[in-house]
Amino acid sequence: MNETVLQMRGISKKFPGVIALEDVDFSLQAGEVHALLGINGAGKSTLIKILSGVYQLDSGEIYLGGVSVEINNPQKAKELGISTVYQDPQMIPSFTGYENIYLGSESDSRSVFRLVRRREMRKKANKLIEKYPFDVDLNQKVGKLSTIEKESIAILRVMARENTKILVLDEPTSILSRKEIDILFKQIEILKQYGIAIIYITHRLEEIFQVADRYTVLRDGKNVGTDNVVKEIDKNQVAEKMLGEKLSKVYPDKSADPGEVLCQIDKLGLNGKFNNINLTLRKGEIVGIYGLVGSGFDELCKTLFGVLRPDEGKFFINDEEIILRTPIDALENGIFLVPGDRRIEGQILNESVSFNVTLANLENVSSVFGLIRDAKENRDAKGIIERLNVKTNSAKTLVSKLSGGNQQKVVIGKGIYTNSDIYIFEEPTVGVDVGAKSSIYHLIRELSVDKAVVVASSDLEEVYGISDRVLVMYKGRVIIDKPVQQTNLEEMLISGLTGVVNG
């Protein structure tokens, strides 16, 4: 089992102005899961892209099974048995699982009419699933499947190429719920039995203890350590390696005394999504809402921001009832939502940082006839960039050029620029690396000093770590609502997963 399938030696790669990788060594053994760790920009994806033929290395050597190889395009990587499953695998929703697996190889070039040979495809698919017993129905249309089932099909699609020896999983768990993550881990075990070597990329430190055999940490394009995963490893030690300095406290201090009540939500309900939600938001207090994906917190956040209309319940700000029909109403009433899906709901990718920052409060940078005051806009955007420590060349840089964490900061910056009274953060740190995560938490705390803040997330530790008061949602109901000191991670986890509250 201890045969080395891949060896990368002295890999270097330069981009204009940046050294992405510098003299990196990396090795992989058959049947092992090797976690590749590093904050955004550390060089993980560059390394993987070199391995999968997307980028060409500047110097260094790659050996597969002891033989020196040159991987100059993605096709070559596939021929050599190197396959990658990306975080959000693209599939055709109206095709079934097996049709997606054999997409592109449906017809037999020998047959005259190049007909799609369904029967044969299904036979092959059955054989495949016998070999890798994943719990997924291949006859179902992919559009109807859950995320983990889609992920399973993506993996099967790769394994259908019989020469696959090396599998790269690029942040496979970023869009999975906890239950689904466990399913994925079982599937990884199955793959290991067949001697498949797996490179596992993740942000989530705790996962490597569950799934990886070895780990390698990249920092600033250098390999800063490869080690076996043993039970006694100190998480902080690994995190320190990733960050390069002593990990400052990830979560800020709790608030001592919440201030006056700003907003009261009374028996809010939306059919089929959530019901009977009561919420009191105070200045200086962070209310955390924990729930699984689908527990209703997403819809709740969108309702509080006027994107969705509630079926019942009332909403008071400063004891005055308000009705939110659109996000415009919400913004006028001093409410801002940092949405859960940054890419789709949060940012205009092809526009500049300053464009995005001022978008929700254009009034503030315009004069008569709506003319934009360029100087003020530039100044204000720079102020936000400085305050949030956004890493960008200038305020005119396109958001698409920033890393995930900095993109999220731009969305938060847009919120800060509206100078709202109530901030709702939904999944504030999805796709954000450890370093940026912590600064976002401190930012949220800073913001909460004279504002009311809600943080809704499926990240248990995050909700527990940041909040003064926690709510746990399960199937549209709030089943726990207490000060954070009176609960613990275990209680929150169990109630969030099962809906059962102890005592």
Partner 1 sequence: MAKFNKIFTREVISLVLFFFILGIVLAVFSILSPRFMTVDNMLRALKHLSLTSLAALGLTFVIAVGHADMSFHFVSCFSAMTMSYFIGILEWSPVPSILMGLLGGLVFGLINGFAVGKFKLPDMVATIGIGTFAWGLAYLYNKGNYIYQNFLTSGIINFSDGNWQGIPYPVIYLFVLYFFAYIILHRTKYGRGFYAVGGNRIAAKFSGIKVQHYIIAAFVLSNVLASFTNMVLTAAQGNGNVKGGLILLMPAYSAVFVGVSVFKKPTIIGTFIGAFLISIMQNGFTLLSAPFYIMDLVVGLTLVLSIIISRLEVRKNLNKTVIAIQDGITD
Q: Which residues are at the interface with partner 1 (CB under 8 A)?
A: 16-17, 305, 307, 326-328, 330-331, 337, 339, 343-351, 355, 358-360, 362-363, 365-366, 369-372, 414
Q: Is the dihedral of CA 143, 145, 151, 157 positive or negative?
A: negative
What CA–CA distance (Å, rounded) separates 106 from 387? Answer: 55
Closest contact distance (angstroms) between CB of 199 and partner 1 is 25
341 versus 490: smaller Cβ distance to partner 1: 341
Q: For residue 389, is it left (φ>0), alpha (ψ between -120 and 50) or beta?
A: left
> CB 337 → partner 1: shortest distance, Å?
7
Closest CB 99 distance from partner 1, rounded Å: 20
Of 58 and 213, nearer to partner 1 (C-beta) is 58
Q: Round to whole Å and give the CA distance between 304 and 380.
A: 28
Q: Return the ∠ at Cα 37 (arms to 33 and 40), rounded to 5°.
A: 140
Using the minimum distance from each CB to partner 1, give the nearer residue, 54 or 261.
54
265 CB-side CA count, 13 A:
22
CB of 286 to partner 1, least distance (A): 21
Q: Which is nearer to partner 1, 291 or 340 (CB)?
A: 340
Least distance CB 316 / partner 1 (angstroms): 21
* CB neighbours of residue 269 within 10 Å: 17
* Strand-strand pairing, 312-317 and 214-219: unpaired
Place of tokens 């901030």: 423
CB of 168 to partner 1, least distance (A): 21
Closest CA to 393 of 434, 352, 450: 352
d(CA 483, CA 246) in angstroms, rounded, equals 30
- Between 116 and 323, CB nearer to partner 1: 323
Q: How far is the CB of 436 from partner 1 (least distance, A)?
A: 20
Please give the Cα distance from 63 to 66 (Å, whole number).
5
| Spatial CA neighbour of 148 closest among 201, 186, 122, 94 | 186
> Of the two residues 1 and 371, which places its CB atom closer to partner 1 in the complex?
371
Residue 68: phi and psi, rounded to 5, are -70, 130
The CB-of-349 to partner 1 minimum distance in angstroms stands at: 7
Judged by CB, which is closer to partner 1: 170, or 468?
170
Would you say 273 or 414 has its CB closer to partner 1?
414
261-270 and 422-426 strand pairing: unpaired
